């Protein structure tokens, strides 16, 4: 990893298209909404999202965590300090205690990224060489610190902004047993676990210890084979299920998702989720088969068997040598005993011959003496051979004991390697399966909550409204008097008149261009085209190109526009969001993460087109939508919209996109700016003003970061508060002109949303919570700066709340003149846009 950046993961909590979802606490005293989890006897049915008044307590815990991490970093990296290891372990324990505390209080922070980073930090602290100065250890430790700081701060920030990514959530609110298991895994120790040396000593002292170890190693090999068989059978069932989901998707897509049918958007989203689940399972199965489970275990099994057989052969060879020595010893002993017995007999015979005496026996005595001497020599040779065999046996036995130690160590190493492979494969297996299923409870609960919001007859009313039928002509029945001169008698005369002529359907103009609807012909006449796709003059793709919708190459079944040469898959025409500009479409633009000055420089008024596009669509359709900017969009759709903006720029058609998806795109763009709209150099001054504002509103405001909501009372407003507003206004004068124009544009938009708080539940303070970190943040200077900056969260929100509430006072002098020298055409377009927004608001009021 290079320099770690703040993750920009999007939430997978989907909102059904067109239906608002109550997924967070909108204001004080409102009912607590829930985020559903999978039904489990060990879990409560619901978990409460964070409330506005709970934010200060969370931030205090974050501050404690930041200080603990900083202290741990100082202790580990301080070379001159003695006894660093126990002190570092104590600091690590404090970090983990705070982490467990905050996770138990806010289960939505229990993510894969956070616990993975915690595990990496534990291993680095415990494996650090405190006695010697090792640069590699320092770099790895600093990287671990940076990883946990970024992961934790990002999760907290997303929780506060209502953008929790459920795809990375672990089980929420674990049982007491599983909580103990998690604690043990965080500390990486088990009290009942014996050390490797103790295990080897036990086996070394036991009869048949090596054979038992070899038997266990052989059993592991069979066990790996059984595990592979189980997972392969399980994956086969999962793949069959995913194929069934794909078949259902293909057969039901056109039948149960007809527009203007009841719950069509619910079932459309359900089908898309089924397809996403099926694709995810296919990818997971491939990963488990080829990368993380089956293949690694097969290779490990082969290596394990090879090593086991080599170790067994070494052990058997050493045992055979000892057995040979023991056999030689037994033979030598037997020969020695025989020779000694023979020597005793010869000596006894010689002594008896001497005792008998006589001249006739002299020769006999000499013969007996020679026999005794020969027997004695043989006995001595046998004794020497016997002693040599004893020494050889002792030496071979010692060598066998040394071999036993070596073999037991090798067996344990092989077993540990296999255990590690099984552990990694098991973790990967259950993590991948968890990632495939963790979003399902949220998906289903979201669909359930969205279904409850459906008003019977709603879709029928929309269907009738969208028919755009001409008015029925008026029919008049008039009496005509009898006339004798007439050759026919008419009792009545039917007069029909019609004064209505239907207007042609039009698309909103883009940069002065009004796209026309092109009736699809040829190979695309039976394809369901999106509104944007209907503006293109389509033909068959003539050469392989990159699809502007899904960003993959098109080889077959492709379409291209005859005017702008946009290329697209045939299947992607249903969701295409880029309209025809009647000229060649430019290449892909690097938009997200690009410097603000580069993007704003391409706009005459200094406001990036993506901001105007997203805000314009939200003001047109979603000013009254409950939870706008707080409820999440669908991750896949948000990513496609971001891609469409980079591919099509101003030509992106948003009328068919969910407002929650659009709001996510806007927040993501602001959050990924290298430097926020309110620059780094103003951050400290802004935070100082926010703290003074909270202090003015209450004695504890500056300390807790929480105060009463701001209200503009005009002349009756607190003079101290007005003075702070004036200082904020003067501070904003230091912004570059494009930054000022963009900030004014966003603040005006947020004020319009706040004015409809009764409908959308988005007060200025709630909008401040969402947009504060996106519009301002401190300059990144260290690994824990992201943690420390979270403490400023309420102050960032206070600045945005002030911009909204006191918008007329802060931007009044600027609003009377154009943001920059623009043409008359641009000004007229802006006026038309404002008039259109006002008309839409009036229509919404009338409908309500």
The answer for residues whose C-beta is within 8 angstroms of residue 296's C-beta and 6 or more apart is 421, 424, 425
Q: Please give, one letter per residue, the 3-state secondary structure of 683-718.
A: HHHHHHHHHHHHHHHCCCHHHHCCCCCCCCCHHHCC
591: helix, coil or strand? Answer: coil
pLDDT tens string 132-188: 777 888 888 888 888 888 888 878 877 776 655 444 444 443 444 444 444 444 444
Question: How many CA atoms lie less than 13 Å away from 156 in the CB half-sphere?
Answer: 31
pLDDT tens string 52-69: 667 777 878 888 888 888
d(CA 661, CA 658) in angstroms, rounded, equals: 5
- Of 547, 584, 586, the residue nearest 568 (C-alpha): 547
pLDDT tens string 767-805: 988 898 889 988 876 555 566 667 788 888 899 999 999
Q: Tokens 């067109």: give the residue.
A: 18
Q: Please give, one letter per residue, the 3-state secondary structure of 144-163.
A: HHHHHHHHHHHHHHHHHCCC
pLDDT the model gives residue 91: 87
Lowest-confidence segment of 223-227, 411-415, 455-459 by average pLDDT: 455-459
d(CA 753, CA 767) in angstroms, rounded, equals: 9
Name the percent of the chain lying above pLDDT 90. Answer: 21
Q: Indicate left, alpha or beta for 260 from its phi (over 0: left) and psi (-120 to 50: alpha).
A: left
pLDDT tens string 385-396: 999 999 999 999
Sign of the C-alpha dihedral, residues 616, 617, 618, 622?
A: positive
pLDDT at 709 over 70: yes
Confidence at 489, pLDDT banded by 50, 70, 90: very low
d(CA 315, CA 613) in angstroms, rounded, equals: 76
% helix, strand, coil for the chain, step of 5:
65, 5, 30
- Of 123, 21, 33, 125, the residue nearest 74 (C-alpha): 125
Q: What is the pTM of this model?
A: 0.49
Lowest-confidence segment of 79-88, 304-313, 486-495 by average pLDDT: 486-495
pLDDT tens string 545-589: 778 777 777 766 688 887 787 888 877 787 787 878 777 777 666
pLDDT at 723 over 70: yes
**What is the average pLDDT across 82-102?**
84
pLDDT tens string 588-614: 667 888 888 888 888 888 899 899 989
The residue among 104 and 504 whose pLDDT is bigger is 104
Confidence at 738, pLDDT banded by 50, 70, 90: very high
- Cβ 239 vs Cβ 282: under 8 Å: yes
pLDDT at 26 over 50: no
The answer for residues whose C-beta is within 8 angstroms of residue 724's C-beta and 6 or more apart is 689, 692, 693, 696, 802
The answer for residues whose C-beta is within 8 angstroms of residue 298's C-beta and 6 or more apart is 228
- Cβ 746 vs Cβ 611: under 8 Å: yes
pLDDT the model gives residue 358: 59
pLDDT the model gives residue 829: 38
**What is the average pLDDT across 455-465?**
77
Q: What is the largest CA-CA distance in the chain?
A: 199
């Amino acid at each position: 990893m290079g320099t770690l950046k703040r993750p920009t993961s999007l939430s997978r909590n989907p909102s059904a298209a067109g239906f608002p979802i109550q997924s967070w606490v909108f204001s004080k005293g409102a009912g607590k909404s829930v985020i559903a989890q999978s039904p489990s006897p060990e879990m409560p049915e619901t978990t409460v999202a964070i409330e506005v008044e709970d934010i200060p307590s969370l931030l205090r815990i974050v501050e404690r965590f930041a200080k603990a991490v900083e202290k741990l970093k100082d202790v580990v990296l301080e070379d001159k300090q003695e006894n660093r290891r126990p002190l570092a372990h104590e600091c690590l324990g404090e970090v983990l205690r705070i982490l467990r505390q905050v996770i138990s209080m806010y289960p939505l922070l229990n993510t894969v990224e956070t616990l993975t980073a915690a595990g990496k930090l534990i291993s680095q602290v415990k494996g650090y060489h405190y006695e010697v100065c090792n640069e590699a250890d320092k770099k790895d430790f600093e990287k671990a610190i940076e990883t946990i700081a970024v992961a934790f701060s990002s999760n907290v920030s997303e929780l506060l902004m209502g953008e929790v990514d459920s795809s990375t959530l672990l089980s929420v609110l674990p049982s007491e047993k599983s909580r103990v298991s998690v604690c043990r895994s965080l500390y990486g120790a088990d009290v009942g676990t014996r050390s490797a040396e103790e295990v080897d000593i036990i086996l070394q002292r036991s009869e048949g210890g090596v054979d038992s170890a070899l038997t266990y190693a052989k059993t592991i090999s069979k066990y790996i084979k059984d595990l592979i068989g189980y997972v392969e059978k399980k994956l086969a069932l999962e793949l069959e299920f995913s194929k069934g989901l794909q078949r259902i998707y293909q057969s039901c897509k056109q039948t149960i998702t007809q527009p203007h049918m009841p719950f069509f958007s619910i079932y459309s989203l359900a089908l898309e989720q089924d397809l996403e689940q099926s694709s995810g399972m296919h990818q997971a199965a491939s990963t488990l088969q080829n990368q993380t489970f089956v293949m690694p275990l097969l290779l490990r099994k082969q290596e394990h068997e090879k090593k086991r057989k080599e170790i067994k052969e070494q052990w058997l060879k050493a045992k055979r040598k000892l057995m040979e020595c023991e056999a030689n010893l037994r033979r030598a002993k037997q020969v020695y005993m025989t020779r000694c017995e023979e020597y005793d007999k010869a000596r006894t015979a010689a002594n008896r011959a001497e005792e008998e005496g006589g001249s006739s026996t002299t020769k006999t005595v000499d013969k007996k003496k020679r026999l005794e001497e020969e027997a004695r020599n043989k006995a001595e040779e046998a004794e020497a051979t016997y002693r040599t065999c004893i020494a050889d046996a002792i030496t071979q036995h010692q060598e066998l004991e040394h071999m036993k130690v070596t073999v037991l160590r090798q067996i344990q190493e092989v077993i540990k390697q296999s255990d590690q492979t099984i552990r990694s494969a098991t973790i990967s297996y259950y993590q991948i399966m968890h990632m495939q299923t963790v979003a399902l409870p949220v998906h289903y609960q979201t669909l359930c909550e969205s279904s409850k919001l459906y008003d019977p007859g709603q879709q029928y009313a929309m269907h009738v409204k969208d028919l755009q039928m001409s008015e029925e002509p008026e029919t008049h029945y008039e009496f005509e008097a009898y006339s004798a001169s007439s050759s026919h008698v008419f009792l009545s005369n039917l007069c029909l008149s019609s004064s209505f002529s239907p207007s042609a359907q039009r698309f909103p103009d883009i940069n002065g261009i009004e796209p026309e609807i092109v009736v699809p012909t040829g190979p695309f006449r039976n394809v369901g085209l999106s509104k944007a796709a209907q503006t293109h003059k389509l033909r068959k793709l003539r050469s392989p190109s990159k699809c502007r919708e899904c960003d993959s190459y098109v080889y077959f079944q492709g379409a291209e526009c005859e005017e702008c040469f946009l290329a697209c898959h045939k299947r992607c025409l249903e969701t295409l969001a880029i309209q025809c500009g009647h000229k060649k479409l430019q290449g892909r633009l690097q938009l997200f993460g690009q410097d603000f000055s580069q993007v704003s420089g391409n706009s005459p008024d200094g406001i990036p087109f993506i901001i105007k596009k997203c805000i314009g669509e939200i003001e047109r359709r979603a000013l009254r939508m409950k939870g706008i900017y707080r409820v999440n969009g669908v991750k896949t759709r948000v990513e496609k919209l971001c891609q469409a903006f980079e591919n099509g720029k101003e030509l992106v058609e948003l009328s068919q996109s969910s407002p929650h998806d659009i709001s996510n795109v806007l927040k993501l763009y602001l959050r990924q700016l290298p430097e926020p709209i309110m620059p780094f150099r103003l951050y400290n001054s802004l935070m100082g003003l926010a703290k003074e504002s909270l202090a003015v509103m209450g004695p504890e405001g500056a300390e807790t970061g929480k105060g009463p909501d701001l209200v503009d009372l005009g002349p009756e407003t607190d003079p101290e508060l007005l003075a702070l507003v004036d200082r904020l206004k003067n501070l904003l004068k230091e912004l570059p002109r494009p930054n000022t124009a963009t900030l004014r544009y966003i603040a005006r938009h947020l004020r319009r949303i706040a004015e409809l708080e009764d409908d959308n539940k988005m007060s200025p303070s709630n909008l401040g919570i969402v947009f504060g970190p996106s519009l301002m943040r401190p300059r990144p200077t260290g690994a824990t700066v992201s943690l420390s900056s979270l403490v400023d969260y309420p102050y960032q929100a206070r600045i945005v709340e002030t911009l909204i509430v006191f918008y007329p006072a802060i931007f009044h002098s600027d609003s009377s003149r154009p943001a920059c020298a623009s043409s008359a055409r641009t000004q007229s377009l802006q006026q038309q846009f404002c008039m259109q927004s006002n008309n839409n608001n009036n229509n919404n009021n009338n409908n309500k």
